[in-house]
Every structure is written in C-alpha cells, then in structure tokens.
Amino acid sequence: MPISLYELTIPVFLKNLRILSKLLDRGLEHVKDESNDLTEEILVSARLIANMEAFAYQVQSVSRTATSFLSNVGKLDIPAWEDSEKTVAELQARLQKTVALLETVRPEDVDAGEQRPAALQTKSGELKYETGISYALELALPNFFFHFVTAYGLLRKEGVEIGKAHYLGMK
C-alpha cells in the first residue's frame, strides 16, 4: 500500500517537534543546575562557529519548515510567525504552537498537494519543485532534520546530558 504525503510528513514533524521540546526541557534543566556555568542566554545564542545561526534560529527553523510545508504544499493559509523568541520558554511556546497547528491539519489537505507543483521563496531566490512529494523529500524533510540535528548538537556542545536515545525519542 502506498504511503500518502500526509503520512510521510505530518506525523514525522509532530513526533520530532515533541522530541525537540523534550530536548529543550533537558537544556533548561541543565541551565538551572548550579554546578555549571551555562546560562539561558548562552544556550539560546549558542553557535558551533561564529558565522552560523544561533540555537534559537535552529529551533525556529524546525518550526518554520513544518509550517512552510503546509503553506507551500497543502496550500493552507498559514500566517508567518515572527522569529522573535529569546528564551527557552518562548522557544517552547513556538514548538507547542507548531504542534497545535499541525494537529489541526486534515490528511486530504496535504495529500491534495502530492502531484501539484510547489515552491518556496528564499533569500537567494525561489526554489521550485515539480510535485509536493519532491518538495517534501528534497527540501522539507532534509531541512527540518538539518535544523533539528543542529539544535541537538548545540545542546550537546553546551554540556546538556542527552544522547542518541533522546534524539530518537526513546528517553
């Protein structure tokens, strides 16, 4: 039986948004642990290298990738959210808002975009895809996980006690 575009994306986004929320909880626990020097400000602004985007941006991008998918493939009227989160609580609220939105999506709304063209406007130009399926496989899912794993890596870099089982949602 073929898998639908909805099944390929929305449950994957939901599961991993919830995992990222748990990882943020672990990060905040680490911040509150007085045995280390990590502050919330340091965590939210953490980078692997000076010219990369900070931790907050990575979390915002996970959210934005999921909501952009709904706009660009599902043709749903999704308002763009300002990337203004500066605390872990604000990032958590953003993730919860994204989960709540995705939970309202009907499979038929996403599946209707399987074979129609999709596009995304970026800073460097428009990215065009022949089908919603190609948009999901070539852009949405890889981009979602790029920012997810970067956020995970930044938490590890800052000393948060998480591992592969946490990344996979097993803990």
Provide the residue ranges of all domains of the chain, joining segments of one domain with +. 5-167
| Residue 94, pLDDT score | 98
The pTM for the full model equals 0.95
Query: Taking all residues of the chain, what is their mean pLDDT, rounded to a whole number?
Result: 95
pLDDT at 76 over 90: no
Is the pLDDT at 2 greater than 90? The verdict is no
Mind giving me the DSSP string for the chain? -PPPHHHHHHHHHHHHHHHHHHHHHHHHHHHH-TTS---HHHHHT--SSTTS--HHHHHHHHHHHHHHHHHHTS----PPPP----SHHHHHHHHHHHHHHHHT--HHHHHTTSSS-EEEEETTEEEEESSHHHHIIIIIHHHHHHHHHHHHHHHHHTT----HHHHTT--
Q: Find the mean pLDDT for residues 53-62.
A: 98
What is the percent of the chain with per-residue pLDDT over 90, rounded to a whole number?
Answer: 89
Q: What is the mean pLDDT of residues 94-98?
A: 98
CATH superfamily of 5-167: dinb family like domain (1.20.120.450)
Residue 156 is predicted with a pLDDT of 97
What is the arithmetic mean of pLDDT over 142-164?
Answer: 97
Cβ neighbours of 170 (radius 10 Å): 9
Whole-angstrom Cα distance, residue 158 to residue 44? 10
Mean pLDDT (whole number) for 134-139: 96
pLDDT for res 171: 87
